[in-house]
Chains A and B, each alone.
Chain A
Amino acid sequence: MANINVKEYQPEARTTKNRLSWLWAEYSVIIAFIILFIGSSVLNPRFLDINNQLNILMQVSIIGIIAMGMTVVMLSGGIDLSVGSVLALAGVISVLALNASGSILVGVLTALLVGSFAGFLNGLMVAKGRIASFIATLGMMAGARSIALYIADGGSVSGEVSGFTAIANSDFWIFDVPVLIFFAMTALVYVLMHKIRFGRYVYALGSNEKAALLSAIRVDRMKIGVYTLIGTLVGVAAVIETSRLNSISSSSSGAQYELDAIAAVIIGGTRMTGGRGKIIGTLFGVLILGILNNMMNLMNVSPHLQGFVKGLIIIIAVVFQKRE
């Protein structure tokens, strides 16, 4: 259109009070994280130990990778309950492929493929079948677990290729490789959501699906893409999970991962109904969960009570969100 001189936008001055309330609204999860971090250091001196810190990161890496995918799904207005089961299924099949082929690459690719295919099926059910994501992925949760159990005959399968365990058990500089993979996946999802149009469309879809469609967005394809993405990330998580102990259990691996991932996303400030939330928020949500677990271990809280504490935190986070 016509040429006119373009002025750069000048942000107006903010008052201090406004700035503080804005800071709180935007970054409440980071502030909560800092408070928790300081509180933990005071409560238990061992908390600050660098090895403990790195340990926390290692412990959250698998849930963290899944939570990144979960953020995208929840921003689009859906949910994925099948992540734990799909992780077990991808793990089992990839170990079989690994052992049969003797190639680590084939094992890894199989995990990714199984994960993304399961996600793709979820996406198809939600987008084309118009099934509520809660129901569709609940079905996948039961189905994937059952197939994993069937293939592994209810037990565990172990890798027989040397070198496979190196993926999750080596480190690079001071970081364990899974932690680096977690960071890389976080960066990847960040770019997807904020630097290219994919993210825009996901936010639009989660905020107002009808308007997104009328804005000429391929809503169905976006949904399929979103579930395929989380499936692929679950595949990545499955590789780490399997490689860590060189085996995967068809019955217990991945159990309740969906709860932890959803908890991290909610604590991170993403709205349950979609459209609003941040990748960075989820990152800190994951870290908060990690610190809580770690502190409860350090302070010898009974493992049976840890679920209670986690549940409480989720509810508090949601109450805070509601207040907005």
Chain B
Amino acid sequence: MTENPFIKMQTIKKSFNGVPVLKGVALEVQKGEIHALLGENGAGKSTLMNILGGVHQPDSGTIYIDGKEEKMLDPRISQEHGISFIHQELNMVSDLRVYENMFLGSELRSKVGFLKVEEMCKQTHEILAKLGVDIDPKEYVRNLATSYKQLIEISKALLHNSRLIIMDEPTTSLAEHEVSRLFGLMKNLKKSGVSIIYISHKLKEIKEVCDRYTVLRDGELVRTGSMEHENIETITKTMVGKAISQERFLHEHPFGRVVLEVDGLTSDAFKNIDFTVRKGEIVGFTGLAGDGRTELFESLFGFRKKYTGEVKINGQAVKIDHPRKALKAGLGLVPRDRKENAIIKDLSVLHNMSLSSMGNFEKRGFIRDKEERKKFQFYKEALNIKVHNPRITIDKLSGGNQQKVIIAKWLEAETELLIFDNPTQGIDIGAKQEIYQQIVELAKLGKAVIILSSEAPEVLRICHTINVMFQGEITARFSAEEANEEEIMNYATGSKREVAKIG
């Protein structure tokens, strides 16, 4: 280790409302290294980064940059020190165009003050191309898929000539090949002397790209060291305090009758979709960005209305044109991109949990707070939700814990068929296990489950049947036994098609 690390944080302490979140944490990042920041949901990773990024002020502790003590009084100061921050939640303005988002607050202007639109578009295009993204810089962000938004968020940080880039879970909605492009870019940055702090719950990624790591647990530093001498298992152990198996979940049970039958569903995002889901079955859908799976299930859930084809629930043809009707018909959807689609940030944790199933908590039309608290206590333990006081607004929770509350909200709706879109976004490996457990439990109870994920390993781990989509079509369908990651990739990238097998 060199004498003077580029960034050095010392004995950082921070409490929220009297609850200590960081209890004297230290962090050192060298010039030109990729440093993994690890820890369970709610360990304090984002809070530590928010302090470095000037979003929060520490209660005590010091920050040194290039050996000089600095105070990060607000995000602008942090930026002036060459620190870029990719936040855990997407911060796009949907009603602005791609290039406008990229240059928000740092627009390029000519000498007389006119915006240099073409120049900004050109730079946007170039930087997105580096990540292998080909979208029109003048497109409105609201029309883009989540993974593109995430890539734009990353590009935005690359735009400035940063010396340190903080990446707080940048890959939660990216597919594998998008991730490897990003890694290529990160390695190039590293060569040019840029440091990166990388937060992720995907340990495989960490192993692949990080040089050193620091593990936090409950706001304390438990371990820091070089990646070379570690394997994933020991790191996992320091993180969650126990070993986590990466085995497939074994759960053989007979399936019941068909719950959902989809026939020839077509819209501008997908075409000719046929599939069925039986009681007790866990069906996976995977593919790359632009495969149409999110649009498909948002249509089934009644959020999108423009589609043709037939949908049968329990053998009866249904026309669902509003999420309420979907819920009544027995469909639930845990949407992707929680900040935009699921979190009601002004409602408390409790009220977020009960929002889609108010009937469960009412007596003669009046809400019973006590029932809500009881139910929450149950989910808190089942899903290991870390929250001191469930009456605080949900945006005060760590990202992974927010996600768990959203999952609890839909488990509570007790629908016959539950669709999970990217359900483990931001969830740590220990808690992932618990969520998979819950899903398997649902299936055992005879509920049907659909899981959408950009991660092939995730669907491989818990699904009975796996559908691969490419550009709006289902290109392959495997049973769990015959599927493997490589085959899935072949179909997801469109290099193979297996039309005959379907139908």
Contact = CB atoms under 8 A, between A and B. Distances in A.
A218 B18 contact: no
A275 B354 CA distance: 17
Contact of B366 (A7, A195, A207, A212): A195
A275 B347 CA distance: 8
A323 to B, nearest CB: 14
Interface string A4-37: 1011110111110010001000000000000000
B316 interface: no
A4 B381 contact: yes
A276 B347 CA distance: 9
Interface string A195-235: 11100100110111011111111100000000000000000
B377 A214 contact: no
A128 to B, nearest CB: 13
B17 A203 contact: no
A213 B378 contact: no
Nearest to A75: B346
Nearest to B381: A4
B246 interface: no
Nearest to B328: A216
B18 A211 contact: no
A213 B303 contact: yes
Interface string A76-105: 000000000000000000000000000000
Given A6-B378, A200-B355, A211 B344 contact: yes
A215 B327 CA distance: 9
A1 interface: yes
Interface stretch (B43-51, B102-110, B335-343): B335-343
Contacts of A215: 323, 342, 344, 355-356, 409
Contact of B18 (A1, A12, A206): A12
Contacts of B411: 1
Contacts of A195: 366-367
Contact of B374 (A6, A12, A218): A6
A145 to B, nearest CB: 33
Contacts of A13: 18
Nearest to B413: A216
A197 B358 contact: yes
Contacts of B344: 203-204, 207-208, 211-212, 215, 275
A276 B346 contact: yes
A196 B367 contact: yes
Contacts of B347: 200, 203-204, 207
A22 B16 CA distance: 12
A218 B355 contact: no
A200 B354 CA distance: 10
A216 B324 CA distance: 4
B323 A216 contact: yes
Contacts of B333: 214
A197 B323 contact: no
A4 B355 contact: no
Contact of B345 (A1, A207, A217): A207
Nearest to B438: A1
Nearest to B409: A215
Contacts of A196: 362, 365-367
B242 interface: no
Contacts of A200: 347, 351, 354-355, 358, 367
Nearest to B374: A6
Given A9-B377, A196-B366, A216 B327 contact: yes
Main DSSP-derived SS at the A contact region: loop
Nearest to B303: A214
Contacts of B323: 213-217
Q: On chain A, which size bracket covers the interface?
A: 20 to 34
A212 B340 CA distance: 10
Contacts of B382: 1
Contact of B362 (A8, A197, A275): A197
Nearest to A13: B18
A6 B301 CA distance: 34
A4 B381 CA distance: 9
B350 to A, nearest CB: 9
Contacts of B19: 12
A208 B351 contact: no
B343 A211 contact: yes
Contacts of B301: 214
A9 B389 contact: yes
Contacts of B388: 12
Given A6-B377, A11-B389, A218 B343 contact: no
B342 A214 contact: yes
B322 interface: yes
Nearest to B358: A197
Contact of B355 (A6, A7, A11, A204): A204
Contacts of B342: 211, 214-215
A195 B358 CA distance: 12
Nearest to A18: B18
A198 to B, nearest CB: 10
A195 B17 CA distance: 27
Contact of A214 (B341, B367, B373): B341
B324 A217 contact: yes
Interface string A178-198: 000000000000000001110
B390 interface: yes
Interface string B355-389: 11010001001110000011001100110000011
A13 B389 CA distance: 11
Contacts of A18: 17-18
Given A197-B367, A207-B347, A275-B346, A218 B322 contact: yes
A276 B351 CA distance: 14
A251 B74 CA distance: 53
Interface string B107-147: 00000000000000000000000000000000000000000
Contact of B346 (A4, A14, A203, A218): A203
Interface of A: 1, 4, 6-9, 11-15, 18, 22, 195-197, 200, 203-204, 206-208, 210-218, 275-276
6 contacts: A195-B367, A197-B358, A200-B347, A206-B346, A213-B323, A216-B324
Given A9-B373, A13-B18, A214-B333, 20 more contacts: A1-B378, A4-B378, A8-B373, A12-B388, A12-B389, A22-B17, A196-B366, A200-B347, A200-B358, A200-B367, A203-B346, A203-B347, A207-B346, A211-B344, A215-B342, A215-B344, A217-B355, A218-B322, A275-B344, A275-B346
